[in-house]
Structures are given as structure tokens and as C-alpha cells.
């Protein structure tokens, strides 16, 4: 079988089963609302949303790989582009752009112009600290953690047989329309990966 | 005609999470299939290490005179980093054995590679291991790569999206079974119609 090239986000999105956007938006809204009622603290809700996203991400990444035919990315830059162009399109139907790279290519911003999660949302004064879309940052973090790091990502200081480690990232919101900014901006920062030290055990 | 003999799905640490056989020949009991799965997991990892160039993702096709084995591995890696054995250190291992009288096994233990299990096939060199899907089929059966791709998609749809499925655990999802039989059936029809 000839190798199949990566499919575009639009093509996959066209073939995905879809639900009514309002049902999706309202379900998410109800979830956030319920979390606020249950947990009371806005910070706790942020944490919980991130954790929920993480749990989704570690499963979703397989579907992404299965349906997009994306093969291994060469570096973190390509990874970010693929998330923005293919991932967001495929699952949310929106396109994102990647900007604000730092000098060593380990930190960037994913900017969303449009965000179906927030269609009817106005943050009340009591919830000013809430990152309403925190589930998205969790999804990205979870998905990246499941993708193995290959040699080209590796730092020379790490022995080659330890290169295969997952991509640990920190994902934070920089801009949020609900908080009065002009777009949604997620900062994705690759955390330098230091392989775990294994306990040295002697037989004797 | 039974073109496909059996299908295995192995989780990231080499445990068999799904097994189904389709032919009367080569039927295996549960213990055997579990053993074969964990052995394949290890062989797959060793094949990556044997590669003279970096970036090898392991055995994709094994051809024998009576069967073909096609293997597909997902790109997702385990959440806990594990260690790959550096086979360039074989010399060092041999020296260790000669000088200390201890076996290579204990050398592995010294390096912290073994997590205390008994056999070589349990070596924790699952570094780049994703979920592995493999089919055993008649020699020369075509379209197996695309069938494995389809099975992977079914797995993402009907196993991973099932909120009650625990990751890495044996797959007991009826929807997956149904859709899988359909996919295999379709493949058989395509084979017969050629």
C-alpha cells in the first residue's frame, strides 16, 4: 500500500459525525455551571476543567492520529502547527494560528479567532477568575503527553536510549475574549524533559 | 476461505487486551495468546534496537511460509517514561558477567531496567511502545495495512470514546466487536471478489 499523506483538517471535519452546535455549547455550559455549584471555588473549577480536558486529550489523541494520517512531527514547531491547523479544525471546526515563538522554539501561542464553546457566555462579576475554556488547555496537554518524543526532539545531553519520552507541556491562557481581550490565546510551553533516574539496585 | 487467522491488540506495556481468532487452524488458549502477545511486544522492541539507523518503529511485517503477520503500532507513547536497553552496552554486559559471575539478568537489574519480573520478555524496554495491533493471515493476503488502519479507527471510536473503558485494560466493548466483525467481513468479501 502506498503511504497516505496527511489529510487536511477540513477534509476530516467534513467526514466527522457532528452534533448540533448549540447542544454542544449548552452541554458544556451546563457542565461548567454544575462544577461551579459543586466546587464553589473558581480556582477549583479551573483545575477540574483542566483535568477533564486532560482525560479527554489522552484518549482523543489516538483518534486524531488514526484519522488525520499525521506521521511523526520533526520538531515542536511542526507539532504546534499540526495542532492548530488540523486538530482544532477536526474537532472544533475552527482554525487556529500559531504565533509568538520564543528563541529556542519551545514556547508558542495558539490563537483562536472563533470559539464555539463561548457562543452565549457572559462572565458574571463573581466568576472573574474563571477560565471558561480551560478544558481546551487540558486537552492539548493530555494529547501531547501521549505523543512520544523522538530523536530530533532530543537534547544531546540525554543518552540516546532515553530519548523516547513523552512531551510534557504547560498550557496557559494568555488572552480570553470573555475577559475583554480581542482573541483567545493559549500559550503552549514545552517543559524540558529530564528522564527519570532509576534507582540503582545491586543484587548482592 | 479464512484469509485472516487472528487479531491481537497489545497495550503499551505488552499486555494482551484483545484477541480474536477467525480460522479453525492455529486456535490458541488464553494463556498461549497472552504469552505470544508479550513475546511479540518484546521482539518488536528488540527489532527497533537492531536497526542501524535511528527512528526505526519496529517490525511491520513478518513473513513465514505458512502465514504473514502484519503489525501496526500507534504513535502514542506510555505516560510513564520507561527505559530502552542500549545494545551497544552488550560488551559491558559480557564483562560484567565474566568478572562478577552474575548473569546478564542481574546486570539489567543493576541498571534498573528490570522491574523485578522473571523473564527476559518482561524487560521494561517499552520506550517508544504504542498500542500494537497485529493480524495473522494467509501468506500474501493483500490490504492488511489498510485493514489494521481501519481497526485502529474503530478502536479510537468504540473503545477509547467509551467513557467506561479503562485505558490499557482488556477490551470488552460490544460496539467494537460488532463493527470489527463488519470490517473483517467486508475485507473478506473484497478478497473473494477479486
Coil vs helix vs strand at B73: strand
Over the stretch B170-193, which tens digit does the pLDDT of each residue have? 999 999 999 999 988 887 777 665
CA distance B65 to chain A (A): 21
Q: Which of B102, B104, B101, B79 is nearest to B89 (CA)?
A: B104
C-alpha cell at B46: 528488540
Coil vs helix vs strand at B19: strand
Q: Are residues B154 and B79 in the same domain?
A: yes
Q: Does B36 touch chain A (CB under 8 A)?
A: no
Q: Which chain A residues are closer than 8 Å to B79 by Cβ?
A: 58, 145-146, 166
Is A41-190 a domain of CATH 3.40.470.10? no
Residue B2 is predicted with a pLDDT of 52
> Percent of chain B, pLDDT > 90?
32
Q: Are residues B16 and B66 in the same domain?
A: yes
Q: Are residues B19 and B44 in the same domain?
A: yes
Q: Are residues B61 and B91 in the same domain?
A: no
Q: Are residues B72 and B142 in the same domain?
A: yes
What are the mean pLDDT values of chain A's consecutive 10-residue runs (204 residues total)? Answer: 67 84 92 94 94 93 88 80 90 90 88 89 89 93 77 43 63 90 90 53 48
Query: Into how many domains does chain B fold?
Result: 2
Who contacts B133 (Cβ-Cβ below 8 Å, separation ≥6)? B7, B8, B9, B10, B71, B72, B73, B74, B148, B151, B152, B155
Q: Are residues B10 and B39 in the same domain?
A: yes
Who contacts B145 (Cβ-Cβ below 8 Å, separation ≥6)? A1, B70, B72
Who contacts A7 (Cβ-Cβ below 8 Å, separation ≥6)? A67, A68, A69, A86
pLDDT band at residue B50 using 50, 70 and 90 as cut-offs? confident
Over the stretch B120-165, which tens digit does the pLDDT of each residue have? 333 334 345 789 999 999 898 888 988 999 999 999 999 999 999 9
Q: Does B163 touch chain A (CB under 8 A)?
A: no
CATH assignment at residue B69: 3.30.450.70
CA distance A164 to chain B (A): 5
Q: Does B181 touch chain A (CB under 8 A)?
A: no
Q: Does A78 touch chain B (CB under 8 A)?
A: no
Whether the predicted pLDDT of B118 surpasses 70: no
Who contacts A154 (Cβ-Cβ below 8 Å, separation ≥6)? A160, A163
d(CA A67, CA B153): 7
pLDDT band at residue B91 using 50, 70 and 90 as cut-offs? low
Q: Which of A178, A167, A156, A19 is nearest to A106 (CA)?
A: A167
Q: Are residues B80 and B150 in the same domain?
A: yes
Q: Are residues B97 and B183 in the same domain?
A: no
Of A56-70, B68-82, B94-108, which one has max mean pLDDT? Answer: A56-70
C-alpha cell at A80: 504546534
Whether the predicted pLDDT of B31 surpasses 70: yes
Residue B52 is predicted with a pLDDT of 84
Q: Are residues B115 and B130 in the same domain?
A: no
The strands making up B68-73's β-sheet, listed across from edge to edge, are B16-21, B4-10, B132-137, B68-73, B61-63
d(CA A177, CA A172): 14
Asked if the Cβ–Cβ distance from B76 to A147 is below 8 Å, we say: yes
Residue A199 is predicted with a pLDDT of 47
Q: Are residues B16 and B74 in the same domain?
A: yes
Over the stretch B55-74, which tens digit does the pLDDT of each residue have? 777 899 999 998 899 999 88
Q: Are residues B118 and B187 in the same domain?
A: no
Nearest to B79 among A66, A145, A164 (CB): A145
Domain residues for the domain of B114 are 85-124
Q: Could you tell me the residue ranges of all domains in chain A?
A: 41-190
Q: Does B92 touch chain A (CB under 8 A)?
A: no
Q: Are residues B119 and B59 in the same domain?
A: no
> ipTM above 0.90?
no
Residue B192 is predicted with a pLDDT of 60
Who contacts B110 (Cβ-Cβ below 8 Å, separation ≥6)? A200, A201, A202, A203, B96
Q: Which of A64, A1, A35, A17 is nearest to A135 (CA)?
A: A35
Amino acid at each position: 500500500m502506498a503511504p497516505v499523506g496527511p489529510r487536511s483538517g477540513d477534509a476530516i471535519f467534513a467526514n466527522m459525525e457532528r452534533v448540533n452546535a448549540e447542544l454542544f455549547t449548552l452541554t458544556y455550559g451546563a457542565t461548567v455551571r454544575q462544577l461551579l455549584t459543586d466546587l464553589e471555588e473558581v480556582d477549583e473549577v479551573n483545575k477540574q476543567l483542566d483535568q477533564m480536558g486532560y482525560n479527554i486529550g489522552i484518549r482523543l489523541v489516538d483518534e486524531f492520529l488514526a484519522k488525520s494520517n499525521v506521521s511523526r512531527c520533526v520538531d515542536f514547531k511542526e507539532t504546534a502547527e499540526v495542532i492548530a491547523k488540523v486538530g482544532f479544525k477536526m474537532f472544533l471546526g475552527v482554525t487556529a494560528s500559531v504565533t509568538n515563538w520564543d528563541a529556542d522554539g519551545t514556547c508558542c501561542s495558539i490563537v483562536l479567532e472563533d470559539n464555539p464553546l463561548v457562543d452565549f457566555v457572559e462572565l458574571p462579576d463573581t466568576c472573574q477568575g474563571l477560565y471558561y475554556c480551560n478544558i481546551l488547555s487540558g486537552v492539548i496537554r493530555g494529547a501531547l503527553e501521549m505523543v512520544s518524543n523522538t530523536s530530533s526532539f532530543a537534547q544531546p545531553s540525554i543518552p540516546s536510549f532515553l530519548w523516547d519520552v513523552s512531551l510534557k507541556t504547560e498550557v496557559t491562557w494568555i488572552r480570553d475574549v470573555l475577559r475583554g481581550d480581542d482573541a483567545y490565546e493559549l500559550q503552549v510551553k514545552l517543559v524540558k524533559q529530564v528522564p527519570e533516574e532509576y534507582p540503582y539496585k545491586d543484587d548482592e | 476461505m479464512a484469509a485472516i487467522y487472528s487479531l491481537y491488540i497489545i497495550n503499551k506495556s505488552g499486555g494482551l487486551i484483545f484477541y480474536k481468532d477467525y480460522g479453525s487452524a492455529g486456535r490458541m488458549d488464553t494463556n498461549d495468546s497472552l504469552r505470544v502477545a508479550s513475546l511479540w511486544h518484546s521482539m518488536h522492541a528488540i527489532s527497533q534496537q537492531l536497526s542501524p539507523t535511528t527512528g526505526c518503529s519496529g517490525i511491520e511485517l513478518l513473513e513465514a511460509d505458512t502465514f504473514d503477520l502484519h503489525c501496526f503500532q500507534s504513535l502514542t507513547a506510555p505516560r510513564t517514561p520507561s527505559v530502552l536497553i542500549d545494545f551497544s552496552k552488550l560488551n559491558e554486559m559480557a564483562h560484567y558477567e565474566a568478572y562478577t559471575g552474575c548473569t546478564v539478568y542481574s546486570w539489567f537489574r543493576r541498571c534498573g531496567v528490570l522491574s523485578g519480573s522473571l523473564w527476559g520478555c518482561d524487560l521494561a524496554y517499552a520506550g517508544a511502545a504504542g498500542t500494537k495491533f497485529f493480524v495473522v493471515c494467509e501468506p500474501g493476503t493483500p490490504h492488511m495495512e489498510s485493514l489494521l488502519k481501519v481497526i485502529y479507527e474503530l478502536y479510537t471510536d468504540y473503545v477509547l470514546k467509551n467513557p467506561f473503558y479503562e485505558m490499557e485494560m482488556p477490551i470488552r466493548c460490544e460496539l467494537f466487536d460488532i463493527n470489527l466483525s463488519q470490517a473483517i467481513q467486508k475485507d473478506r468479501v473484497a478478497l473473494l471478489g477479486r
